[in-house]
Amino acid sequence: MSKIKPSKGAPYARIMGVGGYRPTRIVPNEVILETIDSSDEWIRSRSGIATRHWASPEETVAAMSVEASGKAIADAGITPEQIDAVVVSTVSHFKQTPAIATEIADKIGAGKPAAFDISAGCAGFGYGLTLAKGMVVEGSAEHVLVIGVERLSDLTDLEDRATAFLFGDGAGAVVVGPAKEPQIGPTVWGSEGDKSDTIKQTVPWDDYRDGTVEKFPAITQEGQAVFRWAVFEMAKVAQQALDAAGISSEDLDVFIPHQANMRIIDSMVKTLKLPDSVTVARDIETTGNTSAASIPLAMERLLATGQAKSGDTALVIGFGAGLVYAATVVTLP
């Protein structure tokens, strides 16, 4: 018989607060058109994007994360000292080590929490949320700060007609803590590594370091392949998340998909047969694709504008490079 004492975690976990940060510079499609042969109409029709935010040199991954985290912690009604773990999802922190989570934890005044980074692309927020829920329920942390943050403007090839208009910068954060009833459903997540080449970094860092290539690495993708995968496969994953939570589309109040493409969002709404009463996040129009930050940023905006309210039931799903995905049903803070 084991001599190890059982963990004393909470029975359930919930999102207690949410915060976001969008860089001050707003970049319209006209700026993108300076380096690619396209049009505002084409960009809007293909992606739904009209503007995006690009960070200044001072708006670093850490700085944006600190701003978003402060709002989330305040919204949760706790102090930074009560944060027991910091989980950061990003692909645009350029130091291999140490994890940017450790710097963020120090800057927000969290004391000595567990702190680490994860790399799960546009599904990163869902991955971080799932890890946080596990920590709270298992008992290794009472309050977990989950951050999705990107400076994708640093990894954008402005001459690539397929991707130059897609990406934006920003940070979104949530605090996950204990709950007396289920408020974060089971996560449906996975990967399809056989399709990993459809979204990728153009060249490895060491090719650039060694002078094998002169052009700085950027993110590239096979747009049509990614679009087909997202449209046909991710609606299935979203439905599985609804089933796992024991609810139907009629029970939903809000749908917050990863803000990758407006046509993908609209297609998923149609396939899932979501009622007109369901509020759908379409933050991509003014924010672009911010990868791991897109879901918490969209969540914060819906709550701030009154399009969604505390206690609403929301389906969230992220999907992207890997190819990876994660979907779950949550109660909004």
By annotation, the residues acting in catalysis are: 122, 258, 289
- The end-to-end CA distance of the chain, in Å, is 41
In 3D space, the residue among 232, 236, 239, 204 whose CA is nearest the CA of residue 218 turns out to be: 204
Q: Name the one residue in this structure whose structure tokens are 């206690």.
A: 311
Question: What torsion do the CA atoms of 196, 201, 205, 209 make, to the nearest 10 degrees?
Answer: 140
Residues 195 and 319: their CA atoms lie apart, in Å, by 13
Query: Which tokens is 56 given?
Result: 């200044």
Residues 288 and 77: their CA atoms lie apart, in Å, by 30
Query: Which tokens is 70 given?
Result: 């402060």
Q: With residue 127 as reference, give the H or E element that holds it.
A: helix 124-138
Across-strand partners of 279? 254
Alpha carbon of residue 31 to chain centroid: 25
In 3D space, the residue among 123, 186, 103, 116 whose CA is nearest the CA of residue 144 turns out to be: 116
Residues 34 and 37: their CA atoms lie apart, in Å, by 8
